[in-house]
A and B are shown apart, each in its own frame.
Chain A
Amino acid sequence: MQLTTMAWRTLMRNKRRSVITAFSVAFGVLLSVTFTASSDYAYTNMINTSAVMGLGHLSVEHPDYQDTPTLDKRLLDAEAVQQRALQTPGVTAAQVRIMGQAMFASGAKSVGGAFIAIDPGQETPAHNIFLRTLVEGQCFSADEEHGVVVGAKMAEKLNLRLGKKLIFTMTDKDGELVSELGRVSGIFKTGDDSVDGAVVLFPLALARKGLGYEPNAASLVAIFLSDHRAAKTIKGKLAGLWAQRPDIGVLTWQESQPDLAGLIAVDRLFNYLLQFLVGLVIAAGIMNTLLMSVMERQWEFGIMMALGMMPGQVVRLVLLESCWLGLLGLALGVIITTPWFLYMARIGIDFSGQIGKDYSAGGVLVDPVMKFRLYRESAMCIAAAVFSLTMVAGIFPAFKAGRTTPVENLKQG
C-alpha cells in the first residue's frame, strides 16, 4: 500500500469537505490570476505606451543627458548606433531622435514645451504615439523641410490650424538662442492634455541645422523590443558593444522613466501583498480542514503506529494529503479560471464609462479596457505559490499527527 494512494483515499473519504477546501484553493487561483493577469496586461500596456511617447524601451544617449538634458549632450554617430542596435536580437525598431525644450510661438501667443525631432522617412505610427493619434493632416514628408506636427491642445492655445506658421526658439549646442520656423502639417490628440499641450514634432534635419549639430548627431536612439521584459538583458548586450565608448550610455525604460517604474513597482508590491493575504486566509482554511481530519483520525494513527509505522511516515502521509489537496485545488482552479481568463484575454471589460477614455497615470495613458495577459513566469509563480501555501498549511497538522503517541489513543472508553 503506497502512502500516496492512502492519502488520496483519505481525502476522498470526506469528499464534500475535500472538494470544498479544494474549491477555496481554486478560488485563490482565480483571484490570483485575476490580479496578476490584469496587472500584467496593464503594465505591459503602460510600458509600451510610454515607450512610444519618445524614449523607447531602451534609449541610447550621452551618459549625462539623463541628468541634465541640455542640447550639447549628444551622440555623434547616432545612425551607426541605430544600425548596431537593429542587428541585436529582440530589437524590433530603433529611431534616431533629438529631444529638448523649446518655446513655441504663433502670432502674439507663446507656450513652453518639448520637441521631438524625428526622421520622417523612418518613423512609423507603430513606434510613435503622436503619429498614431493624428486627428488632422499628416506627418511631414521627408522633403517638407519645415513641417511640424503639434498637439491638439497647443493648436488650440496658439490658434494653429493646418498650414499655419509656428516659430520655435531653443538653445543650441553652444548655449545660444536660435529660432526656426515651421509650418503645421498635422495635429495629434493622445487624450492626455499635458502631452497634447506641450509636444511638437519636427524633422531631424531641421533640428540638426538649428542646433548646429553634426550630420549624424542626435540626443538619443530610441530602441523598441519585442518584449519589454528583455530590457535589462538587451541593455547588457548593447552596453557591452559600447563598453569602450564613454560618450554612449544605455538606459532601460525603468531608468529613463523612474516615475513609471516606481508606480509599477509599488502597484505590483501592493498586488503581491493583497494576494499573499488572500493566500493566508485560504491556507488557514486548508489547515483547519487538515487539522480537523487529523483530530478525527487519532485512533487510526494510534493503530498504525502501534503496528510499527514511524512518526515520520505519519507526517509524510498527512503532507501527502495536503499535497493532493493542493493539486486538486490547482486542477479545479485551472478549470474554473480558463473560461474567465480566455474571455478577459480576448474581450475584456470596458471601464471607459467609469474612468473616462483619457485616463493617465504616471504620465502615461492607461487603456480603459481591462484585459488579461499572463506572463508564463507569472502563471508558474501562481501555481508554485498556491501549491507551496497548501503544503505549508499541511505542516502543522502533519506534525500534530506525527506526535500521536500510540498508547494514549488506544485507550478505550
Chain B
Amino acid sequence: MNNTPLVQLENVSRIYQQGKVQVAAVTEFSLDVQAGEFSVLCGPSGSGKTTILNLIGALDEPSLGRVRLEGRDLAELGRSDLARLRRDRIGFVFQSYNLNPVLTACENAEFVLALQNIPKAQRRQRVMAVLAEVGMAELAQRRPDELSGGQQQRVAIARAIVSHPAIVLADEPTANVDSATADAILDLMVRLNQEQGITFLFSTHDQRVMDRARRLIHLRDGRLEHDEVRG
C-alpha cells in the first residue's frame, strides 16, 4: 500500500486576468487529500472553492504551482489525456442543471460508462444497481424535466459514482434544494463514503453540510485559513 495522497496541491495560485486587473482567485494554496476522505471546502462566496475544485478536476490549470492526481502531474497531460482522466478517475456533481435534458435518468447516469465504451448490457446492469442505491430505480426512465431538483442531484451522484472514480468532486451539491432534500443527499454521500470507501470532496457554505464533514478546509480570499480534522 503506498501512501501517496490521492490529490496534492502544491503552492497553487490561480490568477484571472480581468481586463487590466488581475484577480487572484486562489493564492499559494497547498492541500493533500487522502483516499477515503469525506472533506468539505468551505468559505464565503468568492473565497475560491469552485476554482480549487476545477483545478483538482482537471477543468482548469493553475497559474503557478502543481496539481497532482494519484501522483500524476496534470500539467504534463494533453487535452485528450485530461479528458480521459476526468472520464475515468473523477466523478463530478455540479450545483444544478447537471443532467442532459434529452436523456432519461438512466441514460444520464450511464453517460460516462458510454464514453468508456462499456457494452450496453453491462452498462445497464451497473447503472440500475447504482440508481437503486440512490433511490432512483423507479424513475429511471424519466427525463430531467420530470424530476425534482433533489431527484436530479441523486441521478448526478449516481452518474458520478457508477464509473468507480478515484474521487467525487461536488460543487455545492445541496445549494439548490430544500433542506430535507439536502439532508437526504448528504446521508447518501456519507453512506457511499462509509460503505464503499468513495472519496468525496465538496464545497459548501451551508452550516448543516459542514456539520457532517470529517474534515473542514476553511478558505478566505483564496488562501487556506484553517484545516480542521474532526474525530
Which A residues contact B (CB, under 8 angstroms)?
Answer: 1, 6, 9-10, 13, 299-300, 303-311, 313, 406-407, 410-412
Q: What secondary structure prevails in chain A residues at the interface with B?
A: helix
Considering the chains assembled together, what is the distance between the CA atoms of A411 and B98 in angstroms? 13
User: Interface size (B, Cβ < 8 Å)?
Assistant: 30
Residues of A within 8 A of B110 (CB): 1
Whether, in the assembled complex, B205 has its beta carbon less than 8 Å from a beta carbon of chain A, the answer is: no
The answer to whether A412 and B95 touch across the interface, beta carbons within 8 angstroms, is yes
Q: Which residue in B50, B88, B92, B114 is a CB contact (below 8 Å) of A306?
A: B92
Residues of A within 8 A of B84 (CB): 308
The answer to whether A303 and B54 touch across the interface, beta carbons within 8 angstroms, is no
Are A303 and B98 CB-contacts (below 8 A) given A309-B83, A310-B80? yes
Are A307 and B86 CB-contacts (below 8 A) given A1-B111, A410-B59, A412-B95? yes
The answer to whether A307 and B59 touch across the interface, beta carbons within 8 angstroms, is no
Are A411 and B50 CB-contacts (below 8 A) given A306-B59, A308-B115? yes
Residues of A within 8 A of B107 (CB): 1
Closest to A312 in B: B80
Are A9 and B102 CB-contacts (below 8 A) given A406-B59, A407-B60, A411-B50? yes
The answer to whether A300 and B101 touch across the interface, beta carbons within 8 angstroms, is yes
Closest to A7 in B: B102
Residues of A within 8 A of B95 (CB): 412
Closest to B172 in A: A412
Contact digits for B78-101, partner A, Cβ 8 Å, 1 yes 0 no: 011001111110001011111011
The total number of A-B Cβ pairs within 8 Å is 64
Within the complex, what minimum Cβ distance (angstroms) separates B149 from chain A? 14
The answer to whether B50 and A307 touch across the interface, beta carbons within 8 angstroms, is no
Q: List 19 A-B contacts (CB under 8 A).
A: A10-B102, A300-B101, A303-B92, A303-B98, A304-B100, A305-B83, A307-B87, A307-B92, A307-B115, A307-B159, A308-B87, A308-B115, A309-B83, A309-B115, A310-B80, A313-B115, A410-B59, A412-B94, A412-B95
Q: List 5 other contacts, CB 8 Å, given A9-B103, A299-B97, A311-B79.
A: A1-B103, A1-B107, A303-B98, A308-B84, A411-B50
Closest to B94 in A: A410
Whether, in the assembled complex, B224 has its beta carbon less than 8 Å from a beta carbon of chain A, the answer is: no
The answer to whether A308 and B59 touch across the interface, beta carbons within 8 angstroms, is no
Whether, in the assembled complex, B57 has its beta carbon less than 8 Å from a beta carbon of chain A, the answer is: yes
Residues of A within 8 A of B83 (CB): 305, 308-311
Whether, in the assembled complex, B130 has its beta carbon less than 8 Å from a beta carbon of chain A, the answer is: no
Q: Give 8 nearest A-B pairs by CB, closest first.
A: A308-B87, A9-B102, A407-B59, A407-B60, A308-B86, A1-B107, A1-B114, A406-B59
Considering the chains assembled together, what is the distance between the CA atoms of A303 and B115 in angstroms? 13
Within the complex, what minimum Cβ distance (angstroms) separates B165 from chain A? 10
The answer to whether A307 and B102 touch across the interface, beta carbons within 8 angstroms, is no
Closest to A6 in B: B102
Considering the chains assembled together, what is the distance between the CA atoms of A21 and B92 in angstroms? 36
Contact digits for B145-174, partner A, Cβ 8 Å, 1 yes 0 no: 000000000000001000000000000000
Whether, in the assembled complex, B26 has its beta carbon less than 8 Å from a beta carbon of chain A, the answer is: no
Whether, in the assembled complex, B112 has its beta carbon less than 8 Å from a beta carbon of chain A, the answer is: yes
Residues of A within 8 A of B86 (CB): 306-308
Residues of A within 8 A of B80 (CB): 310
Within the complex, what minimum Cβ distance (angstroms) separates B177 from chain A? 15
The answer to whether A308 and B79 touch across the interface, beta carbons within 8 angstroms, is no
Considering the chains assembled together, what is the distance between the CA atoms of A308 and B89 in angstroms? 10
Closest to A8 in B: B102
Within the complex, what minimum Cβ distance (angstroms) separates B48 from chain A? 13
Q: Which residue in A9, A13, A307, A311 is a CB contact (below 8 Å) of B111?
A: A307
Residues of B within 8 A of A10 (CB): 102
The answer to whether B88 and A308 touch across the interface, beta carbons within 8 angstroms, is yes
Residues of B within 8 A of A307 (CB): 86-87, 92, 111-112, 115, 159
Q: Give the contacts of B100-127 with A (CB-CB under 8 A).
A: 100-103, 107, 110-112, 114-115
Within the complex, what minimum Cβ distance (angstroms) separates A412 from chain B? 6
Are A13 and B54 CB-contacts (below 8 A) given A307-B86, A308-B84? no
Within the complex, what minimum Cβ distance (angstroms) separates B173 from chain A? 13
Closest to A12 in B: B102
Residues of B within 8 A of A305 (CB): 83
Within the complex, what minimum Cβ distance (angstroms) separates B188 from chain A? 20
Residues of B within 8 A of A306 (CB): 57, 59, 86, 92, 94
Residues of A within 8 A of B111 (CB): 1, 304, 307
Residues of B within 8 A of A313 (CB): 115
Residues of B within 8 A of A6 (CB): 100, 102-103
Within the complex, what minimum Cβ distance (angstroms) separates B20 from chain A? 20
Within the complex, what minimum Cβ distance (angstroms) separates A4 from chain B? 12
Q: Give the contacts of B38-87 with A (CB-CB under 8 A).
A: 50, 54, 57, 59-60, 79-80, 83-87
Residues of A within 8 A of B94 (CB): 303, 306, 410, 412
Closest to A411 in B: B50
The answer to whether A407 and B54 touch across the interface, beta carbons within 8 angstroms, is yes
Residues of A within 8 A of B112 (CB): 307-308
Contact digits for B199-220, partner A, Cβ 8 Å, 1 yes 0 no: 0000000000000000000000
Considering the chains assembled together, what is the distance between the CA atoms of A313 and B79 in angstroms? 13
Closest to A313 in B: B115
Considering the chains assembled together, what is the distance between the CA atoms of A373 and B79 in angstroms? 54
